[in-house]
Amino acid sequence: QDFRLVQVKEKFGGLRYYAYGGTEAAEKLISAAEKLSYKTCEECGSTDGVTQTITGWIVTLCKVCMGEHMEKRSGNGPKIQV
């Protein structure tokens, strides 16, 4: 059966794959990838200590990247010159 990946996007802190056709095996692989995305840091790819923000835009980050993310949000992070 022809398989066509139509769209991949981030939604609620995880990946969403939209596809047409394919086999049951392909559907299982896509489902596994979606589940894994909730346990993988979207900045560095780590799977150690991954959590999600609970306010605002949901992001999935490890402890290190979450700390950096929260610093930037609080205004205490590195300043960007324009």
How far apart (Å, rounded) are the C-alpha atoms in residues 58 and 14?
9
How far apart (Å, rounded) are the C-alpha atoms in residues 80 and 7?
33
Joined together, the tokens standing for residue 22 give: 């394919």
Q: Above pLDDT 90, what percent of the chain?
A: 63
Q: Produce one character per residue of 26-47: b if its CB has 16 or more CB atoms within 10 Å, e if not.
A: eeeebeeeeeebeebbbeeeee
How far apart (Å, rounded) are the C-alpha atoms in residues 22 and 15?
19
Average per-residue pLDDT in the chain?
A: 87
* Span 38-53, pLDDT tens digits: 999 999 999 999 999 8
77 against 69, higher pLDDT: 69
